[in-house]
């Protein structure tokens, strides 16, 4: 029971600190943001600037995107899971996913097996909570519940409202439903969400492992003992003249994240120094590599910075499922990914060590991974 409670509160600590840290303009230590790497997008952008009479090519600023005349010239890969479920498309598909994890740290999946009707049903339950009177939501807020919070209001982020639940934790669901005076549908939908998202997460995990071409036994504990946290972020429509960051630049601190944007844009990923918007698709989930997966792959897969820009035309609701690692397992890279040319980047640690390092850490970068780096 203690391990379940730990999982329920640990991700809250990681993501609370992740969101509340100031947002300096930085590049995270590590190989995932090689500033000297030239991409097709950067070449096109430079050529377009010169064509319009520029005397020099300025470095992209913190709010610049990868655009030429308003057209996105680089895009996060889209993977059709139906093709990966066929024997003929499996090998090529897993390698395409592996390439996306190395080059982007992000990809989108379609034909994922989760019905759009269910996603809309889950979204409705979240919107029903967000529409409740503020005094009712405050009953389960961070201010009143501390580390056991379910709801949070962040006025300096757009504003942003957050609903975070552990869908596998039935007592938490019932307590929350009672405090918010929700219907029985609230509990049923969240319990179904646990099954739906965990099933998809295990399929994604298998694909990520196959793409590495390593022994799957190294990840077996995470398939059996990992848990998930479900979070809904409700970004209010921003009326500010300047671009508002609903979530500042950050990385995720779990294994990987499954995100649904619906059809309102806002999610952006940092690639080669530029912020690339991820085109929302109602029929797609966005998958991003997180810090612990980067550790297990010895930086083969990269956890990259991303952010959410506040919407200007309408409110935006995103749903995120964070897959956390097995609580009691020592986190080290797969042996096949370690050699004399690629020594282990990180010293062994546990999920609890990572969470403890995240609590109250004062750092000028968006991850605590540098605290665990080996000194060779």
Chain segment 78-110, per-residue pLDDT in tens: 999 999 999 899 999 999 999 999 999 999 999
- Beta strand pairing call for 160-165 and 106-110: unpaired
DSSP 97-134: HHHHHHHTSEEEEES-S--HHHHHHHHHHHHHHHTS-H
For the residues 224-242, what does the mean pLDDT come to?
85
Give me the phi and psi of 69, to 5 degrees please.
55, 40
Query: pTM higher than 0.75, yes or no?
Result: yes
Q: Which residue has the tokens 């080290």?
A: 332
Query: What pLDDT sits at residue 62?
Result: 35
Cα–Cα distance for residue pair 331/347, rounded to 1 Å: 9
User: Quick one: DSSP state of residue 264?
Assistant: -
Please report the domains of the chain, with CATH numbers, ordered by start residue: 2-55+77-372 (2.60.120.330)
Q: What is the pLDDT of residue 164?
A: 92
Specify the DSSP class assigned to residue 369: G
Q: Scanning the structure block, which residue is given the tokens 């190294």?
A: 218
* Of the candidates 372, 340, 374, the residue with the CA atom closest to the CA atom of residue 356: 372
pLDDT for 231 beyond 50? yes
Decide if pLDDT at 58 tops 50.
no
**Residue 48: both structure tokens together:** 């377009």
User: For residue 19, what pLDDT is reported?
Assistant: 42
Strand-pairing partners, residue 286, are 108, 259
Report the distance separating Cα 198 and Cα 351, nearest Å: 19
Q: Which residue has the higher pLDDT, 127 or 248?
A: 127
Q: What's the pLDDT score for residue 316? A: 93
pLDDT of residue 181: 87
**For the stretch 214-250, what's the b/e string if a residue is b when 16 or more beta carbons lie within 10 angstroms of its beta carbon?**
beeebbeebeeebbbbbbbbbbbebeeeeebbbbbbb
Contacts of 41 (CB under 8 A, 6+ apart): 66, 73, 74, 272, 274, 276
Is 60 exceeded by the pLDDT of residue 218? yes
Alpha carbons 278 and 266: distance in angstroms, whole number:
8
**Residue 239 predicted with pLDDT over 90:** no
How many other β-carbons are positioned within 10 Å of the β-carbon of residue 370?
Answer: 14
Q: What percent of the chain shows pLDDT beyond 70?
A: 77
**Beta strand pairing call for 78-80 and 106-110:** parallel
More reliable by pLDDT, 63 or 202? 202
Residue pair 266/259 in contact by the 8 Å Cβ criterion: no
Strands (E), the chain: 67-68, 71-72, 78-80, 106-110, 151-154, 160-165, 227-235, 245-250, 256-260, 267-271, 274-277, 285-289, 306-309, 316-324
* Residue pLDDT, tens place only, 117-173: 999 999 999 999 999 999 999 999 988 887 778 999 988 777 899 999 887 777 888
DSSP letter (8 states) at residue 345: S
Q: What tokens appear for 117 in the block?
A: 């009707």
Structure confidence at residue 361 (pLDDT): 55
Give the pLDDT confidence of 328-339 residue by residue, as tens digits.
899 999 999 999
Residue 21 has pLDDT above 70, yes or no: no
Cα–Cα distance measured from residue 103 to residue 33, given in angstroms and rounded to the nearest whole number: 9
Predicted local distance difference test score (pLDDT) of residue 47? 40
Instruction: Name the average pLDDT for the chain.
Output: 80
CA atoms of 362 and 317, how far apart (whole Å)? 30
> CA–CA separation, 86 vs 211, rounded Å?
16
pLDDT over 60 at 22, yes or no: no
- Write 31-34 long-range contacts (CB < 8 A, 24+): 31/299, 31/302, 32/105, 32/294, 32/299, 32/302, 32/303, 32/304, 33/270, 33/272, 33/273, 33/304, 33/305, 34/272
CA–CA separation, 116 and 64 (whole Å): 32
């Amino acid at each position: 029971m203690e391990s379940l409670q730990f999982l329920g509160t640990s991700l809250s600590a990681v993501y609370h600190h992740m969101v509340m840290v100031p947002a300096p303009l930085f590049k995270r230590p590590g190989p995932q943001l090689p500033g000297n790497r030239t991409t097709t997008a950067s070449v096109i952008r430079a050529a377009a600037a010169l064509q319009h009479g520029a005397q020099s090519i300025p470095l992209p600023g913190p709010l610049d995107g990868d655009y030429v005349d308003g057209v996105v010239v680089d895009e996060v890969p889209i993977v059709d899971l139906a093709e990966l479920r066929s024997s003929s498309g499996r090998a090529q598909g897993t390698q395409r996913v592996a390439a996306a994890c190395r080059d982007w740290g992000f990809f989108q999946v379609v034909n994922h097996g989760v019905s759009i009707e269910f996603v809309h049903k889950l979204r409705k339950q979240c919107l029903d909570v967000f529409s409740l009177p503020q005094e009712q939501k405050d009953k389960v807020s961070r201010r009143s519940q501390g580390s056991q919070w379910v709801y949070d209001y962040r006025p300096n982020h757009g504003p942003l409202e957050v609903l975070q639940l552990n869908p596998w934790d039935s007592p938490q669901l019932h307590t929350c439903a009672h405090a918010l005076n929700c219907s029985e549908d609230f509990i049923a939908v969240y319990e179904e969400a646990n099954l739906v998202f965990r099933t998809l997460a295990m399929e994604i995990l298998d694909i990520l492992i196959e793409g590495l071409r390593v022994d799957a036994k190294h990840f077996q504990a995470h398939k059996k003992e990992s848990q998930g946290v479900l979070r809904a972020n409700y970004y209010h429509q921003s009326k500010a003249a300047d671009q508002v960051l609903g979530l500042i630049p950050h990385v995720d601190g779990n294994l990987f994240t499954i995100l649904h944007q619906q059809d309102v844009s806002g999610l952006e990923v940092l690639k080669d120094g530029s912020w690339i918007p991820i085109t929302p698709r109602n029929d797609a989930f966005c998958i991003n590599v997180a810090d612990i997966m980067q550790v297990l792959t010895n930086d083969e897969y990269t956890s990259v910075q991303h952010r959410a820009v506040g919407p200007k035309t309408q409110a935006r609701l995103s749903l995120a499922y964070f897959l956390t690692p097995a609580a009691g397992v020592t986190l080290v890279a797969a042996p096949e990914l370690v050699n004399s040319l690629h020594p282990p980047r990180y010293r062994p640690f546990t999920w609890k060590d990572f969470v403890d390092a995240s609590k109250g850490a004062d750092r000028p970068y968006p991850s605590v991974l540098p605290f665990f780096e080996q000194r060779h």
